[in-house]
Amino acid sequence: AQTVTQSQPEMSVQEAETVTLSCTYDTSESDYYLFWYKQPPSRQMILVIRQEAYKQQNATENRFSVNFQKAAKSFSLKISDSQLGDAAMYFCAYRSAHAGGTSYGKLTFGQGTILTVHP
Amino acid sequence: DSGVTQTPKHLITATGQRVTLRCSPRSGDLSVYWYQQSLDQGLQFLIQYYNGEERAKGNILERFSAQQFPDLHSELNLSSLELGDSALYFCASSEGGATEAFFGQGTRLTVV
């Protein structure tokens, strides 16, 4: 079974600064997807960024980028130019890419990291 | 707005009771997933349906059941409720298993 670990229960950053959230995962599969979801106080789960394991290039979405290290099974999220609206709980998630498996489509989440942004 | 609609948004009920949570997926999405978010267990996958059929099962209690109807909406039934069932229940949908899942706003269940 796959596991996802976020070792930082809480992080804080000053507005306009950069912060990196850590995530490690364990899997025996070679094809999979990794995601970062944001959960603001409204509780809505919002997809921030996704990474396909077969792609060596790190995904970027505006101020959000990832550092994907497949051999190390590490998937960190970097938020640049942090804004007050970035304050939220961030979840790292794993999804198998093997069609037909019993875990296909299901997301396995880490425990989350609460990000505080200071003005 | 993700396009996934969950009702009700909040639900307060007593121990031993039964409730039904409803989810309408995004238009065209065939897969529906249910997740439970609690303080002690985090976000846990419960069950997945694809085009009306159960596709995968996670840590779902026997007291819980779900189904997906021909119009693709889904219901999660929780019975013999216990205090520990208090949680945020999310529904998510995707076109299939290979595409992004979009989450509804969740149903906050409080068992008293």
User: What's the confidence (pLDDT) of residue B41?
Assistant: 78
pLDDT of residue A100: 61
Burial of A113 (0-12, 13-18, 19+ CB in 10 A): buried
Please list the helix, strand and coil fractions of chain B in percent, rounded to the nearest 5, in that order: 5, 55, 45
Task: Kindly report which listed range (A17-21, A98-102, B8-12) carries the lowest average pLDDT score.
Answer: A98-102
Task: Using CB atoms, pick whichever of A44, A103, A111 lies closest to residue B56.
Answer: A103
Query: Testing the interface with B: which of A36, A45, A94, A108 to mutate, by most B Cβ within 10 A?
Result: A45
Residue from B43, B100, B108 whose CB has the most chain A CBs within 10 Å, to mutate: B43
pLDDT tier, B95 (very low <50, low <70, confident <90, very high otherwise): confident
Res B108: pLDDT: 97
d(CA A65, CA A59): 6
CA distance B47 to B78: 13
> Which residues from chain B sit within 8 angstroms of residue A111, using beta carbons?
42
Alpha-carbon distance B64 to B75, whole Å? Answer: 11
B71-86: per-residue pLDDT in tens?
A: 999 999 999 999 999 9
- The pLDDT, as a whole number, for residue A102 is 57
Cα–Cα distance measured from residue B27 to residue B94, given in angstroms and rounded to the nearest whole number: 10
On the question of pLDDT at B100 being above 70, the answer is yes
Q: Touching check for A103 and chain B: CB below 8 Å? A: yes
- B57-71 confidence digits (pLDDT tens): 998 999 999 999 999
Instruction: Calculate how close chain A gets to B59, using CA atoms only, in Å.
Output: 12
Q: What per-residue confidence (pLDDT) applies to A104?
A: 66
Q: Would you place residue A101 in the very low, low, confident or very high pLDDT band (cuts 50, 70, 90)? A: low
Model confidence pLDDT, tens digit, residues A39-75: 999 999 999 999 999 998 999 999 999 999 999 999 9
- Contact status, residue B10 vs residue B86, Cβ threshold 8 Å: no
- What is the C-alpha R_g of chain B? 13
Query: How far apart are the C-alpha atoms of A93 and A27, rounded to whole Å?
Result: 12
- B55 contacts A47? CB cut-off 8 A: no
Q: Averaged over B97-101, what is the pLDDT?
A: 74
Residue with structure tokens 């999979």? A32
Find chain A residues with C-beta within 8 A of B97's C-beta. Answer: 99, 104-105
Alpha-carbon gap, residue A51 to A33, rounded angstroms: 6
Q: Give me chain B's average pLDDT, please.
A: 94
